[in-house]
Amino acid sequence: MKNIYRGVPISIIAFLSTGLPIGMAQYSFGEFSFPLIEKFGWTQTELNLGLSMAFISSIIAPISGRLSDKIGIKPVMIVSMVMIALGFGLRPFISNLWEWYFLSALVFAGFPGTTVLPSGKLVAAWYPETRGRVMGAVTAGNNFGGVFMPPLAAILISSHSWESAYVVFAGVIVLLCILTFFIVSDDPELIKNQMKKSGKNLNYLSQKVGINASGKTLKEALSNKNFYFMTIALTGACFTYQGVLTQLRQHFEENGFSPATATAGLTAVALMGIGSKLFFGRFSEKITAKNATILSIFLQTIGVIIFAIANNKIILWFGIFIFSLGFGGLGALIVLLVQELFGLLEFTSIMGVILFANIIPGIFASLMAGIIHDKTSSFNLAFIIIGIIFVISMIFLLSINQKEKY
């Protein structure tokens, strides 16, 4: 263990920290929909409003980002994991709709400090020379969570209860929190010493970590029009998480898939997304993160339109294939695009402000999908609207004048 580069176990923690909460809260959402609606008599809109509590992530993100720059990423991760564990672990005791909303908000409050911010800061610090490909591997944790959490939830719900499934989710997060306490560090001196021992190239080090990190300050970023073009584009792209991903399992079943096949379809999205992240992470080093992000959103646009118009299972599976090719890479590319345009100097502060804009998809994406479903008994119109939003996002990305690349 002493001879293992410290960045390896840290990247594994970042992988799990990124993937498990997303797999539990988003990918697995459809597994809990029918049991919760059956037990409490809620409408789809009322249930989906719990997903709209994702706007809390956007409010918390700038605070988490600033704290990460000031006191380090580990304490932020630990506090965030405690919130997520409580948000899942207390769900078996709910009896009112407001309690569902409160605990959903608590889970989403922990998202910034466990997902985007840790992966972005830790990967760039520990792997400055190969951050693109390592970022792809680490953010593939999203899809790892998507592969394993829905089947786990389905098994626990069918064999025990939805309450048991949430308790298990909470226990897994607690275990991850303990590992984080003992393993994670972003201390510049430790990184430097570890890189020396492992024979890694130190030429990148002064640009990526410590007081000599290169890039723009938050104040400089806010005065740059590229920041706003990028923020608008990424805000639109993030409609894919609350507006598409969380509805897919139910959409598949309503369009002819059996419950088991619907879960398999969602698992396929997650599984293919792992390859997508690895591909786009490496590809971004060759064609820039901006161009790779445009390609990712384009593939998702085609995918959601197919979901909306598919009239048989074969076409729906084709849509799953196309959508997954682009969807998986987006998680890595969001971080890489911000780092490419604005560097690492105040990355988590800048990232936090960008995530604040996600209050828009966080509130409206799932709420829109729920309202449309209640009125039309289908998510088709919601998917078409989101496809249009994706097109607007691509236009704003194309408008970025990329003079500098960090």
Helix (H) or strand (E) holding 188: helix 188-197
Q: What secondary structure letter does DSSP report for 343?
A: B
The string of pLDDT tens digits covering residues 233-257 is 999 999 998 899 888 988 999 998 9
The string of pLDDT tens digits covering residues 115-126 is 888 888 888 788
Question: Domain holding 114: CATH number?
Answer: 1.20.1250.20
Report the distance separating Cα 117 and Cα 10, nearest Å: 14
Report the distance separating Cα 158 and Cα 52, nearest Å: 27
Residue 263 forms part of a structural domain: yes
Q: Between the ranges 5-9, 28-32, 291-295, where is the mean pLDDT highest? A: 291-295
Residue 2 forms part of a structural domain: no
Other C-beta atoms closer than 10 Å to the C-beta of 159 total 9
Q: Bin 179: left if φ > 0, else alpha if -120 < ψ < 50, else beta.
A: alpha
Residue 348 forms part of a structural domain: yes
Residue 378 forms part of a structural domain: yes
Cβ burial of 2 (10 Å; 0-12, 13-18, 19+) is exposed
**Structure tokens that stand for 376 in this block:** 């039309």
Residue 406 forms part of a structural domain: no
Mean pLDDT across the stretch 357-376? 87
Mean pLDDT across the stretch 98-102? 93
Residue 174 forms part of a structural domain: yes
Other C-beta atoms closer than 10 Å to the C-beta of 44 total 20
Mean pLDDT across the stretch 225-238? 94
Report the distance separating Cα 345 and Cα 88, nearest Å: 35
pTM reported for the whole predicted model: 0.74
In this structure, which amino acid lies at residue 218?
L
One DSSP character per residue, 232-271 reads HHHHHHTHIIIIIIHHHHHHHHHTT--HHHHHHHHHHHHH
Report the distance separating Cα 231 and Cα 355, nearest Å: 8
pLDDT at 206 over 50: no
3-class secondary structure, 67: helix
Number of continuous H segments (helices) and E segments (strands) in the chain: 22, 0
3-class secondary structure, 286: helix
pLDDT at 330 over 80: yes
pLDDT at residue 86, rounded to an integer: 97
Report the distance separating Cα 73 and Cα 75, nearest Å: 6
pLDDT at 289 over 80: yes
In this structure, which amino acid lies at residue 108?
F
- Nearest alpha-carbon partner for 26 in 331, 254, 305, 318: 331
The string of pLDDT tens digits covering residues 62-95 is 888 888 888 889 999 999 999 999 999 999 999 8
For residue 148, what are the domain limits? Answer: 7-398
339, 347 Cβ separation under 8 angstroms: yes
Residue 1 forms part of a structural domain: no
**Structure tokens that stand for 31 in this block:** 């597994």
Bridge partners of 215, per DSSP, are: 343
76, 117 Cβ separation under 8 angstroms: yes
For residue 73, how far is the Cα from the chain centroid? 17
pLDDT at residue 72, rounded to an integer: 87
pLDDT at 205 over 60: no
Residue 264 forms part of a structural domain: yes
Report the distance separating Cα 80 and Cα 143, nearest Å: 20
One DSSP character per residue, 358-376 reads THHHHHHHHHHHHHHHHHH
**Structural domain count, the chain:** 1
3-class secondary structure, 118: helix
